[in-house]
Each structure stands twice: as structure tokens, then as C-alpha cells.
């Protein structure tokens, strides 16, 4: 009988502890910034912010489904830097991506929390190896990543913007003003188009 009582008491204590743990591993509650285990959030009067918020004169975007702050990404055509702040004058390569492919980004990734990571001063020819007949130009590579998974990439050199899939066997597209102006096929085997021309 004592074992059953101990089991029941232990069971209810465990349930009580588990149900009182804060969601997503939050470290505090109330007002202001919160550094959770999966990213930053902001609370006002105990309510998590979502969407666009002006905090201390700076604009931040918080994802509606998680309330985490966006960073290193483009939301609604606006560049958000690594600190999560919308900056009016994005770096030139980012401006070229926005200018040339904003609609595709908005439509394709609107429900995905993605961010950029960058490889600077790289050769497009080296990135593509011998598998595509691309120009030998140097620029910056911006990979769009959802957590740890590469979704696609943009190579930017001056006014030239190329969109690359995250896998081989696919066409590479030169993008200009929202349109594909050149399709560069994969040369080792059959290539397939992954975007509408």
C-alpha cells in the first residue's frame, strides 16, 4: 500500500513540475527582451510581441507562430540584420536580391523562418565546379537557410544576381527585375527547371 501511495505522490509531483515549466525554455516573464533557448522575443505587459514592432526607435519583426525575432533575413521586402533590426539601406548585394527577386522570396518563403548566411569574395565558377557553364566572376554567396537546412542561394556580383538550388542536377537562373533572363543547365546529366521561367 505504501508503494502505491509513494507512486501516486511521485506521479502528481512530476505532473505538477512538468506543467509549470515555461514554454520554449523562456528565462523570464514580464516586460522587455527575453532570451529563450531558441531565440529572442519581446514582451509587453506579459504578452509576446508578433509582427512588426518599434522598440526604442528601431523596427523588429517577430514571427507570429513562435514570437521569435527575425534576423539575417528579408521580411516584406525589408532587410533585417543580424541584430534583428530593419535597416533602411541594406548592403548592396542584399539590395540586389530584394530588387531582383523580392516577389519570389515573398511568395515562396512567406511561412518559413529563414535567414541568410554569407560566403564573401567567392568565385561562382568554383561554387559550381565544372557542372555548370557559368561566368568566372567573384562576388558574395548568400545561402537561405531554414534552421540548419540550405533551401537555395543567391550569388551576387555587382548587378548580376544568380539563383542556385541547394542540390545538383538543377538549372541555375540569372535573375533581373523579378524575371529569369538566363537559365544555365546542369551539364553532367539531365537538368531540370525548378522555377517557372
Label each residue of the chain as H, E or C.
Answer: CHHHHHHHHHHHHHHHHHHHCCHHHCCCCCCEEEEECCEEEEEECCEECCEEEEECCEEEEECCCCCCECCCEEECCEEECCCCEECCCCCHHHHHHHHHHHHHHHHHCCCCCEEEEEEEEEEHHHHHCCCECCCCCEEEEEEEEECCEEEEEEEEECCEEEEEECCCCECEEEEECCEEEEEECECCCCCECCCCC
Residue whose C-alpha cell reads 542536377 in the numeric block: 169
The answer to whether residue 108 sits within a structural domain is yes
129 in a structural domain: yes
- Give how far the C-alpha of residue 68 lies from the chain's centroid of Cα atoms, to the nearest Å: 12
Q: Is residue 163 part of a domain?
A: yes
103 and 51 share one domain? no
User: Both 111 and 65 in a single domain?
Assistant: no
Within a domain: 6? no
Residue 96 lies in a domain: yes
State which residues form the domain around 95. Answer: 90-197
Residues 47 and 127 in one domain: no
> Are residues 191 and 127 part of one domain?
yes
Placement of cell 512567406 in the chain: 110
Q: What local confidence, expressed as pLDDT, does residue 141 receive?
A: 93
* d(C-alpha 162, C-alpha 145), whole Å: 17
Question: Do 100 and 193 belong together in one domain?
Answer: yes
pLDDT (tens, 9 = 90+) of the chain, 197 residues, equals 556 655 455 554 555 444 433 444 444 557 899 998 888 999 988 899 999 999 999 999 999 888 999 998 888 888 898 899 998 888 888 888 888 888 888 888 777 778 878 888 999 999 988 889 999 999 999 988 887 677 889 999 999 999 998 777 889 999 998 899 999 998 887 776 777 65
* pLDDT reported for residue 192: 65
* Whole-prediction pTM: 0.67
Does one domain contain both 64 and 96? no
Residue 11, in any domain of the structure: no
- pLDDT at residue 26, as a whole number: 44
Same domain flag for 58 and 114: no
Residues 113 and 41 in one domain: no
The C-alpha cell of 71 is what? 534576423
Query: Is 109 in the same domain as 179?
Result: yes
* Number of domains, the chain: 2
Same domain, 156 and 94: yes
110 and 171 in a single domain? The answer is yes
Answer yes or no: is 4 within a domain: no
Question: 10 Å Cβ neighbour count for 113?
Answer: 15
Shared domain for 57 and 124, answered yes or no, is: no
On whether residue 8 sits in a domain, the answer given is no
Cα radius of gyration rounded to whole Å, the chain = 23
Q: How far is it, in rounded angstroms, from Cα 162 to Cα 180?
A: 9
Amino acid at each position: 500500500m505504501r508503494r502505491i501511495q509513494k507512486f501516486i505522490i511521485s506521479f502528481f509531483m512530476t505532473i505538477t513540475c512538468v506543467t509549470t515549466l515555461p514554454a520554449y525554455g523562456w528565462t523570464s516573464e514580464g516586460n522587455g527582451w527575453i532570451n529563450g533557448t531558441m531565440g529572442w522575443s519581446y514582451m509587453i505587459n506579459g504578452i509576446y510581441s508578433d509582427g512588426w514592432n518599434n522598440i526604442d526607435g528601431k523596427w523588429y519583426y517577430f514571427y507570429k507562430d513562435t514570437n521569435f525575432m527575425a534576423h539575417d533575413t528579408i521580411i516584406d521586402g525589408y532587410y533585417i540584420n543580424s541584430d534583428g533590426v530593419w535597416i533602411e539601406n541594406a548592403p548592396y548585394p542584399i539590395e540586389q536580391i530584394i530588387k531582383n527577386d523580392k516577389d519570389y522570396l515573398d511568395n515562396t518563403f512567406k511561412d518559413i523562418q529563414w535567414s541568410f548566411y554569407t560566403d564573401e569574395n567567392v568565385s561562382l565558377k568554383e561554387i559550381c565546379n565544372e557542372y555548370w557553364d557559368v561566368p568566372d566572376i567573384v562576388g558574395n554567396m548568400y545561402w537561405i537557410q531554414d534552421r540548419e537546412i540550405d533551401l537555395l542561394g543567391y550569388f551576387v556580383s555587382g548587378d548580376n544576381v544568380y539563383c542556385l538550388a541547394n542540390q545538383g542536377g538543377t538549372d541555375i537562373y540569372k535573375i533581373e527585375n523579378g524575371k529569369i533572363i538566363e537559365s544555365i543547365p546542369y551539364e553532367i546529366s539531365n537538368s531540370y527547371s525548378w522555377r517557372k521561367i
